[in-house]
Amino acid sequence: MTAEVTGKVGPTGRGHIGTMAAMSSYDDESYLDFIEGLRMFALKSMNPASAKALKAEIAAGKIKSENPDISETRAVADPLPAVGIRNRMLRSTQGLNWDRIVDSYDKNRAALEQELTDAETAGPGSLRWDPDFKYPEYFTAVPYHRQPGSYHADPLGGHIYHYGTKVFHGGSNDKDEAKIERIYELPTPKDGKVEKFLDVACAIGSGTVAAKLRWPNAEIHGIELAAPLVRYAHMRATRLNADVKFSQQLAEKLDFADNTFDLIYMSTLLHEMPVAEGRKAIQEAKRVLRPGGLLVIHDMVQATTPLDIWSDYDRYFDHRFNNEPYAYKYVHSDIDSFLKAEFAEVENSVHGKTSTWNCHK
Ligand SMILES: C[S@@+](CC[C@H](N)C(=O)[O-])C[C@H]1O[C@@H](n2cnc3c(N)ncnc32)[C@H](O)[C@@H]1O
């Protein structure tokens, strides 16, 4: 199943790719296709080459401990040519990616912003947001993933983020296909009832729209902190004819009543917050979850799950060089024990570098 905007020229005059406005010129699009290819080359070819080079050093006894400190790993891994090239490719493709997306959407900025404004009162679905919303300092302190303006400061932040994820995922989610698959795999509460669903930190709302596809008769909500993202999420949902209620809210302080939702989804939020705030967000989700309801958390795997030395180095690289300021502390925060103390029953499963916790209230 996929989502796609068809038959509309759109604000850049060049139609849509899946559910996002195409770049403003063929040149921009083709440049970004090249960047996407370079990134995929770094991931698919340079990653295995780098891991192999580090493994050879480990086999030669350059790293003594089985569970080395990151500084010990870096002292050996950083100087390896394959690793250096890979690191540079990932860092540079990210920078080139953002610069070109911003330049390209800038050419049609007025039309793109107008489209957001026009969609505010459009349906189906609804949008609540506050132009004077006070963001917490931890959120504005650093541009996440080095996105210019971060999530919150450029009115086109949603557009920029969305095209950025196209390059980041190598085009594999252009029509929401990966998100739809993920939402269709979600477990349900033990009694099977899903009449009210909440997507916490829904960003551009692709998981939220997918939830409406899976549960068409349910009331579907998405909350998100950044105004440009939640406005974009609503506009995108109206284009896809999805009846979803979006609102700008802080995950740590939701304005829903206690015991409201049957199923709550919190995907890749916690590693982007200080640990204490993340714990408040979990407790808030528990508050608005009804007894017997289910909270599904999907995020980076914790340090309690042993990673091979290369994967640990890679996790640190992303934290340090791709502006994930809270991620490394998060992976060392022992969320498992916290969740077990909060919920009646918790199941955890690990899939490579990510982890899922099913928390039953
Ligand atoms: C990596 S994105 C994940 C988006 C989406 N859940 C997904 O899985 O694709 C993290 C999102 O969390 C949002 N966010 C960060 N802190 C938040 C908070 N305290 N409350 C609500 N949203 C927050 C960011 O604005 C961003 O959209």
pLDDT, tens digit, 9 for 90 and up, residues 9-52:
888 989 999 999 999 999 999 999 999 999 999 999 999 999 99
Instruction: Calculate mean pLDDT across residues 268-281.
Output: 97
- Per-residue pLDDT reduced to its tens digit, 83-116: 999 999 999 999 999 999 999 999 999 999 999 9
User: Residue 296 — very low, low, confident or very high, per pLDDT cuts 50/70/90?
Assistant: very high
Ligand 1 centroid to residue 172 C-alpha, Å:
20
Cβ of 50 less than 6 Å from ligand 1: no
Hey, whose CA ends up nearest to atom 11 of ligand 1?
Answer: 201
Cβ of 273 less than 6 Å from ligand 1: yes
User: Residue 69 — very low, low, confident or very high, per pLDDT cuts 50/70/90?
Assistant: confident
Ligand 1 atom nearest 223 alpha carbon: 21
Structure-block tokens of residue 291: 């007894």
* 281, 312 Cβ separation under 8 angstroms: no
Instruction: Calculate mean pLDDT across residues 117-142.
Output: 96
Cα 168 to Cα 164, 172, 179, 226, distances in angstroms: 6, 9, 14, 20
Q: Give the helix/strand (H/E) hosting 35.
A: helix 26-41
Domain with CATH 3.40.50.150 in the chain: 137-360
pLDDT of res. 73: 94
- Per-residue pLDDT reduced to its tens digit, 154-195: 999 999 999 999 988 888 888 999 999 999 999 999 999 999
Q: Is the dihedral of CA 160, 166, 169, 170 positive or negative?
A: negative
Ligand 1 centroid to residue 266 C-alpha, Å:
9
pLDDT of res. 242: 96
Structure-block tokens of residue 97: 């990616």
Which residue among 19, 225, 246, 252 is best mutated to probe the pocket of ligand 1, counting the most ligand atoms within 8 A of its Cβ?
Answer: 225
Cis peptide before 79 (omega within 30 of 0): no
- pLDDT over 90, % of the chain: 82
Cβ of 269 less than 6 Å from ligand 1: yes
Which residue among 172, 173, 269 is best mutated to probe the pocket of ligand 1, counting the most ligand atoms within 8 A of its Cβ?
Answer: 269
Write down the mean pLDDT value for the chain.
94
Cβ of 226 less than 6 Å from ligand 1: yes
Q: Residue 258 class from Cβ within 10 Å (0-12 exposed, 13-18 middle, 19+ buried)?
A: exposed
Judging by DSSP bridges, how do beta strands 289-300 and 354-360 pair with one another? antiparallel
* pLDDT for 7 beyond 80: no
Ligand 1 centroid to residue 273 C-alpha, Å:
9
- Per-residue pLDDT reduced to its tens digit, 201-218: 999 999 999 999 999 999
Cβ of 209 less than 6 Å from ligand 1: no
- Per-residue pLDDT reduced to its tens digit, 214-235: 999 999 999 999 999 999 999 9
SS3 of residue 94 by DSSP: helix
Angstrom distance (rounded) from CA 97 to CA 146: 10
Sheet holding 196-200, edge to edge: 126-128, 245-248, 219-224, 196-200, 261-267, 289-300, 354-360, 345-351
User: Residue 67 — very low, low, confident or very high, per pLDDT cuts 50/70/90?
Assistant: confident
Cβ of 225 less than 6 Å from ligand 1: yes
Cα 143 to Cα 132, 140, 174, 232, distances in angstroms: 20, 7, 23, 18
Ligand 1 atom nearest 250 alpha carbon: 20
Is the pTM higher than 0.85? The answer reads: yes
* pLDDT for 120 beyond 90: yes
pLDDT of res. 307: 73
pLDDT of res. 8: 79
Cβ of 202 less than 6 Å from ligand 1: yes
The dihedrals phi and psi of 292, each to the nearest 5 degrees, come to 85, -5
Hey, whose CA ends up nearest to atom 3 of ligand 1?
Answer: 268
pLDDT of res. 10: 86
Measured CA angle at 189 (ends 188, 194), to 5 deg: 70
Q: Is domain 137-360 in CATH 3.40.50.1110, yes or no?
A: no
Which residue among 272, 300, 323 is best mutated to probe the pocket of ligand 1, counting the most ligand atoms within 8 A of its Cβ?
Answer: 272
Hey, whose CA ends up nearest to atom 27 of ligand 1?
Answer: 203
Cα 282 to Cα 8, 202, 207, 250, 267, distances in angstroms: 40, 15, 19, 12, 12
